[in-house]
Structure 1
């Protein structure tokens, strides 16, 4: 293999640039040419492809977002769109592709692999919801962003003796809410993977109030319910002064943490190694601090699960 491509797709995540940098420099170090696809699978269909040199990825390791831009592409979900993308790759003489992104990106990579074109998936999503890896690129940075917000909100919650509901990202996965809630000392954590009982939340708040604690933090993942609606419900049932903060897209941005930069570098480099070994249809990940790889098709059959031990611990520590 002499020429490979790299693209980022789906929602951006801090550390994607570090992964792109690793792919480009690892490949060039071993004598390969690298081409960047600009704008995800939509850019691939449109032939928006440019050659990347060492300098192309200079000074990007510390930047959030993605230099290669990203987009969601409905057309690439169709056979016609996939064949258009494949034609563009062959036109440029690209023999393998590294796809950095989440579940939808993996599905695109798996589709190309089905046509016999070697692809390797690299998990880049703040949701940490990709099977086959304990951590995804961007998750740690997003957590630190959320924790910073929780710490600041707790200051004002304490000063005004208020209950705060903080809504975080996570339509289908509760890892951000769960991990940030545990690290931030939240009284209650609501995640998509578990049903919640509003009365249990109310009882916890009242119990805390009775023992002298006049402020509380409740974390809710966006996929569970609206933070605004939950805040109204709590205030109606308790008469506690309740405020709501929706963190939104601030969770996706910012300079990646050391953990995410190193993780992205390791995963990106391994993706190139797999292509050099003639292996496609694979997805890289990290398990027990070791870089691993699995069949993308098998990863897509699995369902992300939360660590229920963490959920139990949050309830034990928030009494």
Structure 2
């Protein structure tokens, strides 16, 4: 229960304190003395409510010591420290409070009653100045931008390539966090936004609860999270931000994160996002919790299923089926480049699912002579080549063009002769824009739930993972980003007839 405290109205420090406030800084000395004669001082215990949302109380409150939270529907939307003013909306409009005020720790407040602000008490000149500043405060409150982004609870960062399910897992993280009265924000355009600064121009506030969203939707950057559940693409990422490799930019991002008093950081993406997250962690205090969620079509995060891999393979296999039908009809040989910068998971499984004739992947050796012999008498063929096939060799020799074209050139140099018309197709990026399928949406829910549990347990520097149906977590330093594929599956994908087409692998294949 709040207790009234006695204080000296003649204390010179009180006048100094009040003049630091924007509403009293320019009024005359006599009027300030009159104002002090109306003031009362109260003490609140930690957790005690000052006023409740919907309550009627025409009073201005000034924080003397301690901290207060302003809450809407149980969610903190602002933190007030010594010298901050609140209650001005009800004071001016004589209307119910739009939010709840609660002491975050032992707090003392100055009360200024509404009957103070009449001309019989203080001069008209001072009243004009006070009401002008109160109006400015109300406008600021209604806009809410500065207050909402003042302190960040959980901040999500998405960067690099897009995969189906980025938006899904973002939505589920918000849903699970809100269940435990935690709040979620996301960088508008990945690491780039963190380098540029904070606030509504570079951050977004995500709200799952519909009632709370309707109360805050007028504030710039507030987004209703449920609509993201099955949305295509990745709304809050940018093309991989190469500038984040610079230490100078990493330091800017770390500074902005600390200025917002961020408690938790969650990176969402593939190997590029993971590396950026780990670099950032070296510049942040250890008590700032840090996590990673794997979202990548090519499943290049070893030790877990990755959000996007299921929808990616489903769509990739369907595209291959279309090429298979056209190849049969027109007696063609299609050499198709597909995703697979490292392990080639997407290219391999798209090939297997659609019944294409060969998967050409990074890390494996192929007998080009035997492949040309196998193609000689075929009526139609579809070969899937992962984009990372012999990437280092192509780069070192300044060879441009797609991996499909490079593999075709290898066949020609080995003397390819075939009655089929050979057509090379470059990597089709529309796979990235696929809708997340049920498997990826389910995976997103599982990873989001596990993430929330780890946050609540006070854990840090972990990646929630799902593998063979089991849920666990990996330390970020244990994560490999060169996810290999099964040699047995690569052999299974060879339908050219000669098992010798694939001779051995260049690297260790798990």
Paired position in structure 2 for 1:121: 292
1:128-161 CA distances to partner (integer Å, 9 max, x unpaired)? 111221x211111111121111111111111111
Once residues 464 and 496 of structure 2 are traced to their aligned partners in structure 1, the CA distance between those partners, rounded to angstroms, is 36
Contact 2:152 2:263 in 1 (8 A): yes
Which of 411, 428, 446 pairs up with 1:266?
446
Paired position in structure 2 for 1:21: 171
1:216 equivalenced with 2:381 (yes/no):
yes
Once residues 239 and 472 of structure 2 are traced to their aligned partners in structure 1, the CA distance between those partners, rounded to angstroms, is 27
Measured on the aligned residues, the alpha-carbon RMSD in Å equals 2.1
Cα deviation, residue 42, structure 1: 0.9
Cα deviation, residue 81, structure 1: 2.3
Cα deviation, residue 276, structure 1: 1.8
TM-score when normalising by structure 2: 0.58
Contact 2:160 2:272 in 1 (8 A): yes
> Where do residues 299-310 of structure 1 align in structure 2 (5 Å cutoff)?
299-300=479-480, 303-310=482-489
Change (3 A) 1:201 1:123: same
Contact 2:335 2:404 in 1 (8 A): yes
Cα deviation, residue 2, structure 1: 8.2
Change (3 A) 1:288 1:229: closer
Contact 1:167 1:227 in 2 (8 A): yes
Change (3 A) 1:233 1:195: closer
Once residues 247 and 404 of structure 2 are traced to their aligned partners in structure 1, the CA distance between those partners, rounded to angstroms, is 39
1:173 equivalenced with 2:327 (yes/no):
no
Which of 189, 212, 231 pairs up with 2:408?
231
TM-score when normalising by structure 1: 0.90
Contact 1:2 1:31 in 2 (8 A): no
Contact 1:99 1:120 in 2 (8 A): yes
Which structure has greater helix proportion?
1
Paired position in structure 1 for 2:239: 71
Paired position in structure 2 for 1:90: 258
> Where do residues 223-302 of structure 1 align in structure 2 (5 Å cutoff)?
223-224=388-389, 226-231=403-408, 234=411, 237-240=416-419, 241-300=421-480
Once residues 183 and 318 of structure 1 are traced to their aligned partners in structure 2, the CA distance between those partners, rounded to angstroms, is 16
1:258-310 CA distances to partner (integer Å, 9 max, x unpaired)? 1111111211222222122111111122111122211101215x642211121
**What secondary structure, in the 3-state scheme, does the structure 2 residue paired with 1:83 have?**
helix
Contact 2:297 2:306 in 1 (8 A): yes
Which of 102, 105, 114 pairs up with 2:270?
102
Moved more, 255-264 or 231-240: 231-240
Which of 42, 46, 49 pairs up with 2:192?
42
Once residues 178 and 59 of structure 1 are traced to their aligned partners in structure 2, the CA distance between those partners, rounded to angstroms, is 33
Once residues 442 and 467 of structure 2 are traced to their aligned partners in structure 1, the CA distance between those partners, rounded to angstroms, is 14
Contact 1:98 1:272 in 2 (8 A): no
1:313 equivalenced with 2:492 (yes/no):
yes
Contact 2:162 2:233 in 1 (8 A): yes
1:52 equivalenced with 2:206 (yes/no):
yes
> Where do residues 126-165 of structure 1 align in structure 2 (5 Å cutoff)?
126-133=297-304, 135-165=305-335
Cα deviation, residue 18, structure 1: 0.6
Once residues 45 and 229 of structure 1 are traced to their aligned partners in structure 2, the CA distance between those partners, rounded to angstroms, is 38
Once residues 2 and 224 of structure 1 are traced to their aligned partners in structure 2, the CA distance between those partners, rounded to angstroms, is 42
Corresponding pairs, count: 311
Once residues 190 and 90 of structure 1 are traced to their aligned partners in structure 2, the CA distance between those partners, rounded to angstroms, is 46
Once residues 281 and 112 of structure 1 are traced to their aligned partners in structure 2, the CA distance between those partners, rounded to angstroms, is 12
Q: Which has the higher contact order (CA 8 A, sep 6+)?
A: 1
Change (3 A) 1:113 1:274: farther
Change (3 A) 1:217 1:286: same
Contact 2:152 2:185 in 1 (8 A): no
Contact 1:175 1:306 in 2 (8 A): yes
Contact 1:172 1:223 in 2 (8 A): yes
Contact 1:37 1:50 in 2 (8 A): yes
1:189 equivalenced with 2:332 (yes/no):
no
